[in-house]
Amino acid sequence: MKRLLVSMLSVAAVVGLMAAPSFGADKLLVKDAGSNTVFVVQDTGYTGIGTSAPAAKLGVTDQAVTATRGIITSLHADSIASTLNIYRKSRGTEAAPTIAQSGDYTGAFLFQNSGGGAGNYINNAYIGARVNGTVTPTSIPTELYFATSAINENNPFAHGTVRMLIDATGNVGIGTTTPAALLDVAGTIRYQSLVQASSRTYKDNIEQLTAASAMETLKELSPVTFTYKNDPATTHLGFIAEDVPAAVATDDRKAVRMTEVIAVLTKVVQEQSKTIDALSAKVDMMEKAKIR
């Protein structure tokens, strides 16, 4: 205890606090010259920094607005990152941990705001990690998810309001927790510019699309009107992936490759333009023949 007291006094001298540690009821209390609590260890095992009433194993509170707030971690060494925390989770016990299982939550950053009144803090957003897939002693597939609260909704951790998710394969889902592509958006995308990588340097087996093939594909396209199940109020025009020709559908028949549709339409329009030009030339010849 003597060595601990000396260490506490040394720390206080370094940070410029006229700290005076006191002991009682199985706890350690350190206050500054203004009698504000700097550090406390309660007999419950809860530790507080800047608060005399920590609400968790470690509670950190800033009472005033300053240039530096919260927690800062620093590392002055090689390329290794400065780490705030490493979240560890296991089944079993601390002395005998057992392997994780699919569906286990690894850890989360949970954000809260006051709803007014003492202790009335409401969960409104979180970022978390969860095991998702077959687990082995050397491989634990994991997904990372981001959640926020909508109007009149609280506690997203309980409601599971996931807005974006990165799955174990690297697929990113926005509006969906089961992304089927590198980026899968269940909803409307608004953008100012969209480009597709189309350089010859990225491609092999380049061949001209024949007019006959384009015509045949176009004939098999059946435009429809429809509404999405998650947006029944909006009517769309388009195609049904299961019904379009294979040339313009994804392998799983769940989506239509619109770039392929554009290529087909472009080829058909080009061929029709040639036909129109030829017919126009014949009409001109006939008109000239009449004049003579």
Q: DSSP string spanning 3-16?
A: HHHHHHHHHHHHHT
276: alpha, beta or left? (left if phi > 0; alpha if psi -120 to 50): alpha
Asked if residue 258 has pLDDT above 90, the reply is yes
Q: Residue 179: is its pLDDT beyond 70?
A: yes
Mean residue pLDDT across the chain: 84
Q: Say yes or no to pLDDT of 63 above 90.
A: no
Going by pLDDT thresholds of 50, 70 and 90, the confidence category of residue 212 is: very high
Q: Is the pLDDT of residue 34 over 70?
A: yes
Q: Residue 133, Cα to own-chain centre: how many angstroms?
A: 18
Kind and range of the H or E run holding 140: none
Beta strands in 72-141 (DSSP E): 91-92, 97-98, 105-114, 121-131
Reply yes or no on whether the pLDDT at 221 is more than 90.
Answer: yes
Three-state secondary-structure class, residue 246: helix
Decide if pLDDT at 5 tops 50: no
Give the CA count within 13 Å in the CB-facing half-sphere of 176.
15
DSSP state of 192: S
Closest by Cα among 33, 35, 62 to 48: 62
Specify the pLDDT at position 168: 94
Residue ranges covered by each domain of the chain: 1-63, 100-186, 207-292
Does the pLDDT at position 64 exceed 70? Answer: no
pLDDT greater than 80 at residue 109: yes
Which of 118-122, 213-217, 228-232 is predicted most confidently?
213-217
